Amino acid sequence: MAVDQAESVRTPSSWVVVGLDNGGTSNNATVLDATGQFLVDHLVENPSRVLDGPESAVEALAGAFTGILELTRTPRSLVRAVGLDTPGPASANGVISSKGATNFNHVSWHGFDIRGALEARLGLPVVYNNDGNAAALYAHHQHFGAAAAANSSVSAIVGTGLGGGVVEAGAVIRGAAGMAGELGHVQIPLHGVLENDQPVPRCNCGFEGDVESVASLTGIKNNLLPYWLARFPEHPLAVEPIGAAAKALRGYAEKDDPMALAVFAQQAKAIGKLFTIAANFTDPAAYFLGGGVVEAAPHFRQWFLNTVRESTDLRDEQKAVATFALVPDRDMAGSRGAAVAALNTVIAG
């Protein structure tokens, strides 16, 4: 388990919850005490072992749980609940889709109850969210603090796909089937996003013109980059495999490369269209942006956020009260959001 050895730790005087963020390669863990203070200030990881199947993955999560308690010198007896997040699609109760998912593609994962399995393994209540919802919840509570329960927000988390979450009165909106906040599959008007001769982008989910088909790494690889490379045939990325070129594109954008900026401008405009729709559905107090674009050079991520803001069509009354901000603490947001969800559940009884 990797951690900055210089960081300070303390043992809380009351109860705690643990947050576990499960990913394709690593688990991230944190501890949150009853007063709302995190006991670790840096990323703490261990291998997630999801490719080895459910049994190995649940053991790896249990190892992350034990490791973070040892690191923070927190007695296990103080833990009231565990927050868990994973990539989707999964039900509101943490049952992986019957068709599997990006990180859970082996047949043994199909329909697997990862929340229930971890709960049985640890003997503690486990509160589940998908990773987009967890990051959205953390951004909300970090931004609003004590006023979190009095505010609403919408978050777009850009990664391999596009995740997100809708938070109302400090709580994630789950929906009847647990599929609320699947913002990546909201279909958006493409006028002002695409060039006149640009093909309508297709999403892996089968939709045309949803947000994820533009604003995601998959959208870059499948839809945007092939079009723009045809317009910039001498670009260095033209000779690279399309997958590698898509992953390298952000580095070019950070150096103000014209083609890369054209691609990311389309992504930002697509998210602006999404936020415009959100403004008319929920009229949130804050719009948060997270994911890979946040984990970039400061000038680039600020440019991207500014472009999103400029592309979001708000009424004057909304502009006067709405905030646009980046999801804080980047790669720790998932585990911290999972912990916040667990804390809220314990407090609510």
Q: E-strand spans in 34-68?
A: 45-47
> What does each C-alpha distance from 92 to 30, 114, 137, 175, 217 come to in angstroms?
22, 11, 15, 8, 25
pLDDT at residue 8, rounded to an integer: 47
pLDDT at residue 181, rounded to an integer: 86
Q: What is the pLDDT of residues 232-255, one digit of tens each?
A: 999 999 999 999 999 999 999 999
pLDDT at residue 12, rounded to an integer: 61
Coil/strand/helix, residue 247? helix
Helix axes 258-281, 242-253, angle to 10 degrees: 90
Residue 265's CB is within 10 A of a number of other CB atoms, namely 16
Q: What is the pTM of this model?
A: 0.89
* Amino acid in the structure at residue 296: A
Per-residue tokens: 213: 């088909």
> What does each C-alpha distance from 65 to 15, 89, 137, 309 come to in angstroms?
15, 23, 21, 39
pLDDT at residue 142, rounded to an integer: 94
Percent over 90 (pLDDT), the chain: 81
Residues of the chain with pLDDT below 70 are: 1-13, 102
pLDDT at residue 2, rounded to an integer: 41
Residues found in the chain: 349
| Dihedral sign, Cα of residue 38, residue 40, residue 42, residue 47 | negative
> What does each C-alpha distance from 89 to 76, 92, 187, 208 come to in angstroms?
31, 10, 18, 19
Rounded Cα distance between 172 and 168, Å, is 6
Q: Are 145 and 100 in contact (CB under 8 A)?
A: no
